Each structure stands twice: as structure tokens, then as C-alpha cells.
Structure 1
Amino acid sequence: MTTNEETIVMTPLWLAIEENLLALEGQNITEENKEKTVQKLVGELDGKGYAVSKSGIKMMALRWALEDMLKVGRPMLKDLTKALSELTLEDLANPCHASYRVTDNLGKTWERVQKTDRRDALIQMFEEAKLDLLVQKAKGLDGDLGIRLLIEETVESPVILERMGIPQEKLDQVHADIAAEIAARNKVLSLLETVEGKPDHEKVKFLFSNDIPEDLIIEVAQIAQADIDKAKKAMEEELKEQQRLAEEAAAKKKAEAEGPALEDIPMDQMAEHIYAIREIQYFSDVEKEIRTMCEQSAIPKAIVDLSFSDPDKFDELEKQCEG
């Protein structure tokens, strides 16, 4: 049966019969009006394309289902629907297995529900029940956790888009985030191969040095928080020591660049430095420029400072050098 060249998948006849019988619930069906009810059902099913009136086998299937309902006192689909509604996600972890458990129980009352020709449709019903529960759970989760849950449960993308009411761009972003997280985990695994066999605190230091966040170290490397804290403390101490050494080196370099204190400079060298400063002052009277040229000429900073802070004393020192 096709429409606009698209195939329409029809509900199996047995299930269509049960759906129609469920719609009869509450009606008083007696031996006197039973045949009238059968003909009414035949007309409804024929109208849906099942051609029951043209098949003796289909007519028998309808009559048997009606007899079973009258015998039990309720439609089979009512019991099946109730059983489905009582299942949890844990029960439906494997829809196929769940369908066998439920139909085994229903079969005590409804023998025909266990027929092999009903198996595929029943499994589909259980899969749909699981999907309904998954979507219900997903909609109750914060942020993207619901979408992630459905992706993890291998729900198809079109179904996620429809049931969660999200645009394609949103789903693409979540997929991209998941891919990035997987890549990050793979990076950790690759780095761990480099430090295989080493103590945990060394692994932590190595991973931190490669910009691996703490949560990934715990998750992927399976390293305890206490070991991570220990490694972090050791790294902080190392960093402090490195900073101390760097400060010492910088101070030493600065002292070397500034040269000796004024009282430590021999008079002959003092005379040379003063002469050099006078030459520089001849070319410029801008302090910044003078200081730069003095530094380039390796003139001790103490003498340069004196020339600006106390010019009179500088002149006096110059005279002392001249003898």
C-alpha cells in the first residue's frame, strides 16, 4: 500500500484487531449482538486496508481474539499496556528480554500473545516504551545531559531532534563536544604510555605539564585525589624554589649591570668614568639618553646617579681625580 511513492508500514493485523477490541471496552457484547460486533470490526479493519472480509484466515483471527476477550472479560491490549506502564528503564535495559518476560506472564491468560508471528511487533512496543522513559529522563536532566544520555543510548539523531525539540545545530554542538572529550581522554592515555611504570606523583606532574586538567587525570589515569594533591604541593614547592633562584639571578645580573658601589671604585677608574660621562653630557643633556649611553658604556650606576643627584659632589669628585 503506497501513497506518493512512500511505503506505509501497516500495523500487524493481530495488533490492529486488539486495538479495535480495546476501543470496544465498556460495551455490552452478548451472544445476540456478537455477530453484529464482528461485522462492525470487519468493516473497520477493511477500511484500514486489511481486507479481512476477503480472507477466511483473517476472519478466524478476528473471531478468536473476540472470543478470548469475552472469555477473560477485558481486552488483551489492556493487560499488555498496563504491564508496559509498570516497567522501569532498568527492566527495559534489553527490550527483547523484557518482552519475553512480560509475554511469558501474560501468556498464562492470553495464550496467543506468545505466538511467534507477534514477536517483532511486541519487541518494537517494548523498544518504544524504553524510548519514552529515556526521553522522560532526558528532559529532566540539566543542560546537555539529556541529549548526551540519548546519544549514549544510541538513539537515532532524527528521533533526538523530534523528541527533545532541539535544532540540528544544537545536536551537532553536543556531538562535537563529545568528540573533543574523547580526543582529550585519548591524549591522556597516550601521555600515560610515556610515563608507564613511574610513580603516580611523577605521572601527575607530567600530565599537568602537558595541560591536562585535574578531573581528567582522576577519570582517565585513575589516580587518587590524595596523590594529586601531593604532586601539586611538590610542584608548588619546586615553583617557589625556581622563582627564588630566578630572583637571585636577576638581582645578581642587575648588580653586575649597575657596577660596584662608589666607595669600591679605584680613583684611576673613577677618573675614566667621570671623563666618559662628561663626553656623553657634551652630546646630550637629557637624563634618560645620558643614562642609556652610560649603561651602554658600562659606567657604574653609582657614578651616574651621583652626577644627577648631587652635581656639586660629582664636580668635587672630578677634581679629586685630577689631583
Structure 2
Amino acid sequence: MIEAVVVLVRGLQYLLASLTFGLAAFVVLNRAFLDEAGLSQLRRWVGWAATVQIVVVPGALFAQTALMAGAWASALDPQILLSVATGMGLGAALVARWAAATAGGLLFWSGVRGRGFWFPAVLLGLAGVLTFAWTGHGGATEGAGRVLHQTSTAIHAVAGTFWVGALAAFVWLVFRRVEPGSKAERDAASMLVAFAGSGTIAVATLVFTGLINAAFLVGVSRVPFPLQSPYGGLLVLKLILFVAMLALAALHRSRLAPQLEAGADGALGRLRLSVMAEFACGGLVLGLVAVLGILPPPVSM
């Protein structure tokens, strides 16, 4: 039961981080294509994600404490909670994540708009994402490779949340109500095509850092035999979903988005299915990452 709650709050934090950082970064990169109504709507998404994190992150601290202590009752002890929050890297990272989320929530509810909102929102979201390097297996690495593993984990989290956050924006773009053939519809297609550049960088980063992390968690000698452990099996499933996301991204950016720009019949419907499928795969990947975080990696067995 405790493990299930930990997985749930971990996955929820990854999703919220994808909105507070990834979605905000996408808006900054594509602000010229978005009208005021769109900016206002996406601002609400980012702001509410930060606000929900203010509640979820303390819940994560409580659940992680219960998991380490082996009982919910132990997590109710203020001294034990304080000890985890101030005496462990995991606790310090959660406190830092909560502080970043609180600042982001206050920024949103203060009513700040425009550049005064988006650029600070990206920085605060980035600060929160970077803390994932200390709340997973990367934070437990010791020895000479500790800094490399934590750095790779942090960069991996940044690239992953940016991609999922951008997908959330695309879901909104293709499902919002606009007139067929309107400028808003053409701009959505243009953003999908333009994302190929930053999306490629994110993918390359995920592959490179993923290989580094696999070397630390699976072990170089065990990489060819991933299915020998539950961790390895889920990691293979994660890679399959990752490849599916790449295939869908290539499809809707190279074929479906240009068809929409050209006004082809049924292009919007096909693009909606493609984007939703890619976003669903991204959500499953986040869920798998949440589960992998509580499983012992093969290198420790």
C-alpha cells in the first residue's frame, strides 16, 4: 500500500513538473505564434500545476518517510519527518521542490502576466525539475561516479519534462475550438513543424543521458540481458514506448502537420489522434519512471 502511494505521488510530480517547466518553456519558445487567449489559458495550466504541487510535494515527503520507516504511523512523528527533511538528500530535494512550486504558485496568483510571468515560471519550473536528481536512484549513487550520475539524471529529467510539457501544449492546440482554415489552426501546424528542432535536441539528450544512467543502474555487463530482472523488463517497456513516441512525432510533424497547413480534408482529425497517442505514451513513460524509482536496480542485486 505504501509503495503504491509513493508511485502515485512520484508520477503526479513528474506530470506537474512537465507543466510547470516543459509547458512554460514551450510557450517562451513559441510565444510569437500564440494569441492572448492562448497565452492566458496556458498560463492557467502552468499556474494551477504549481499550485497543486504545493500540496503534492509535502504528501510525497510523508509517503517517502513512511516507506523508509516501514509504517504510516512513523511518518506522523514530527521528529522523523523533520529528520528526513533536513538530514537526507531526498528530504532536502523535496523541500527545495516545494519552495520552487510555492514561488511559482505565488507568481501565478499575484496576477503577473507577460514576460514577467513566463520567464520566472520557466526558471522556477527548472529548479523544481533539477531536484529529481536527488529523489531517485541518482541520489543514492556513491563514489567517483556520483556527480556524473546525478548530473545525467538531472539533464534527463529536464529533457523529458520539456518533451511531455510540449505535448500537453500540442494537445490543447489541436483540440481548441478554432475556425477551419483559420490563422490559429495554421499556427498550430507551424508550431508542430517548428518543434522538430528543439524536439530533436530533447530526444538526443534523452538517449545520451539514458545510456549513462543505464550504465550506472543496470551495469554495462548486464545491458544485453535486461529481462533478467523486473527493473530491466520495465526499462525495456519504457524504451518501446519511447520509440513509439519518436515514430508518432515523425508522423505528425513530417506528414500530418503539413497536411493541416495545406488545408487537406480530415487532417485535423488525424493530427488529433497522433498527438493524443504520443501524449498517452508520454504519460505511460512517466508512470514507468515512477515505478522504476522504487525498484532495486540490477546493479544493486
Q: TM-score range by the shorter chain?
A: under 0.3
More helix by share: 2
Q: Normalising to structure 1: TM-score of the pair? A: 0.24
